[in-house]
Amino acid sequence: MATKKKTRNTKAKPVAKAEVTKSGPSYFSPAGIRTFIHEVQAEFNKVAWPQKKVTAGLTGFVMILVVVISIYLGSVDLLLGKFVSTLLD
C-alpha cells in the first residue's frame, strides 16, 4: 500500500482585499462593538462568582497577609541598613 507524502507549500498566497472585507463586519463598527458587548455579557453569565461571605473572608486574609509581610520586609530592611551602616563606619 503506497501512500503519497504531502508536502507543505511554504509560499503564502496573496489575499485579495475583496476576500478580507467579506469576512464580516468590522470590529470597530457599531455592529461589531455591539456584538462584542453581547459576547462579553454572555461570558460573564458563565462565570461562577463566589459568595459574598467567601469573598470578604479571602479579602481579610489578603489584607492581614499584606500587613504581616510588609512588617517583615520593613524590619529586615531596617536591620540590614543598620548592619551596613555599622560596617561602613
Q: What is the pLDDT of residues 9-53, one digit of tens each?
A: 556 565 555 554 555 567 788 888 999 999 999 999 999 989 999
Total domains in the fold of the chain: 1
Residue 23 forms part of a structural domain = no
Band the pLDDT of 4: cuts 50, 70, 90: low
DSSP string covering 57-72, please? Answer: HHHHHHHHHHHHHHHH
**What domain range is 58 assigned to?**
49-89
Q: Is the pTM of this model over 0.85?
A: no
Query: Residue 7 pLDDT > 90, yes or no?
Result: no
Q: What is the dihedral of CA 27, 35, 50, 55, to 10 degrees?
A: 50
Residue 89 forms part of a structural domain = yes
Residue 38 forms part of a structural domain = no
Residue 77 forms part of a structural domain = yes
